[in-house]
Amino acid sequence: MIGKKILRVICNLIFIIFSFTCVFPIVWIFYSSFKTQAEFMQSSVALPKALDFSNYINVFTSTSMPKYMLNSARNTLLSVAVIIIVAFLAGYVLSRYKFRGRAAIYNYFIMGMLIPIHALLVPMYVQLNEMGLTNHWYTLLIPYIGFGLPISIMLIESYISSIPGELEEAAAIDGCSFARTLFQIVFPLASPILATVAIIQFFAVWNEFTFALILVNNDNLRTVPVGLTMFKGAYTVDYPRMMTGIIVTMLPVMILYFIFSKRIIEGMVAGAVKG
């Protein structure tokens, strides 16, 4: 019995340590952002001696970070909205209807998850450029939506497959139209997985760097991850200042995460692929 108790204590301990490591890097980046460079060099782990906000003032006054954040927010919200709708439509018919070529279409979408984006950067840029689609406010939405679809369709398809279709049948008997059934009955039923998809895509788009670097050539269209590279000076790194940049760019996302954390996890648990 004592052996069992010790085992339980150890298991709990492992979990506490693991959870601690999950938040520690961000906590460390956060408090380090209040240090001066000299203080940071003396000890990288110690807490700051005083709260020095100068890094924050610097980020907001001498860089265009607020502008980049607006761009990122616009890209993120629009991409996520379009992905949800488009992937929902495709995921729904793939899971509910039997028609020729369905498996082929499903696999065709899944293949998209196997391609490293750097492999497609040049062909994609050439293609967008020829059609005059680079350098617009909507430019980045195109790859974000396209690359976001495969995993979203996969998750939505498997979720809808796992929920019974009685409500839809009842609606059909009542003479409910296809579109109404889709949006008034299935959509709410699928909301947990749609929330999951929204969350995954939200973070993916907010953090995306490579397309944002290549596809727009205008400072007014820059996004946060690209803006963050400015904080690495040419010949020295001011670590606290760079960490301030990281915190500023992550803050909106972190706040969202912890406000909605309960819902996020519930959504994930409810929505993740069922066997």
Partner 1 sequence: MKKKMVSMVVAAAMITASASSAMVQAEASEKVTISILCDLERANVGTGGLDTGFYAALDEWTEAHPEVEISLESMNQTDYQTKITSLGAANDMPDLFMLKGSWTKNFVENGWIKDITDNLDADPEWKDGYIAGGFDSATYDGRIYGVPRESLATGLVFYNSDMWAEIGYEEFPSTWTELLDAVEKFKEAGIVPFVMGNKANWPAESCWLSTLGDRFTGSEWTHSIINGEGAAFTDEEFVAALTCFQELAEAGAFNEDINSLDDVEQNTVYFNKTAAAIVNGTWFFATVDSSAPDDVKAATKLALLPSVEGGADANTVSGGPAWFFSVSNNEMDETKTELVMDLLKYVSDEHQADVSASTGIITAWANPTYDDSNVPALFNDYNELMKTTTVVPIYDATMDAALIETMNTGLQSLLIGEITPEELAENIQFEYEMAQ
Partner 2 sequence: MKKIADRRGTRLAIFLCLLPALAIYTYVVIVPIIGAFRYSLFNWSGGPNMKYIGLKNYQMLLKDKNFWAAFLNNLKITILCVFGQIGIAFIFSAMLSSRFIKLKKLHRVVAYFPSTISAVVVGFAWSFIFNYDYGLINVILRAVGLNDWAQAWLNNPDTIIGVVCIPLIWQYIGYYMVIIMAAMSSIDPSIYEMAELDGASGVQRALKITLPLIKNSIGVAVMLCIAGNMKIFDHIYVMTNGGPGTSSMVMALQVYKTTFVKNQFGYASAMSIGILILSLAIVGGSRVLINRPWRKERDF
Q: Kindly state whether residue 205 participates in binding partner 2, applying the rule CB under 8 A.
A: no
Distance in angstroms (rounded) separating the CA atoms of residues 35 and 238: 11
Q: Which does 62 bind (CB under 5 to 8 A by kind): partner 2, partner 1, none?
A: partner 1
Q: Kindly state whether residue 63 participates in binding partner 1, applying the rule CB under 8 A.
A: yes
By beta-carbon proximity to partner 2, the closer residue of 50 and 103 is 103
By beta-carbon proximity to partner 2, the closer residue of 48 and 146 is 146
Q: Kindly state whether residue 74 participates in binding partner 1, applying the rule CB under 8 A.
A: no
Residues 6+ apart with CB under 8 A from 273: 154, 155, 158, 159
At 187, which amino acid appears?
A: F
Residue 12, CA distances (Å) to 9, 17, 238, 262, 265 in order: 5, 9, 39, 21, 21
Q: Kindly state whether residue 73 participates in binding partner 1, applying the rule CB under 8 A.
A: no
Q: Kindly state whether residue 44 participates in binding partner 1, applying the rule CB under 8 A.
A: no
Q: Kindly state whether residue 72 participates in binding partner 2, applying the rule CB under 8 A.
A: no
Report the b/e string of 178-213 with b at 16+ CB within 10 A: eeebbeebbeebbebbbbbbbbbbbebbbbbeebbe
Distance in angstroms (rounded) separating the CA atoms of residues 152 and 162: 16
Q: Kindly state whether residue 191 participates in binding partner 2, applying the rule CB under 8 A.
A: no
Q: Kindly state whether residue 214 participates in binding partner 1, applying the rule CB under 8 A.
A: yes
Kindly tell me which residue out of 53, 57, 169, 170 binds partner 2, with binding defined by CB under 8 A.
Answer: 169
Residue numbers 118-137 binding partner 2 by CB under 8 A:
118-124, 126-127
CB 201 within 8 A of CB 80: yes
Stretch that binds partner 1, among 23-31, 63-71, 162-170, 180-188 (CB under 8 A): 63-71
Interaction pattern, residues 106-145, with partner 1; x per rule: CB under 8 A = ---------------xx--xx--xx---x-----------
Interaction pattern, residues 9-38, with partner 2; x per rule: CB under 8 A = --xx--xx-xx-xxx-xx-xx---------
By beta-carbon proximity to partner 1, the closer residue of 21 and 62 is 62
Taking the CA atoms of residue 17, residue 19, residue 25 and residue 31 in that order, the dihedral angle to the nearest 10 degrees is -90
Measure the CA angle with vertex 110, ends 108 and 162; round to 5°: 110
CB 243 within 8 A of CB 32: yes
Binding-site size for partner 2 (CB under 8 A) equals 93
Distance in angstroms (rounded) separating the CA atoms of residues 114 and 219: 32
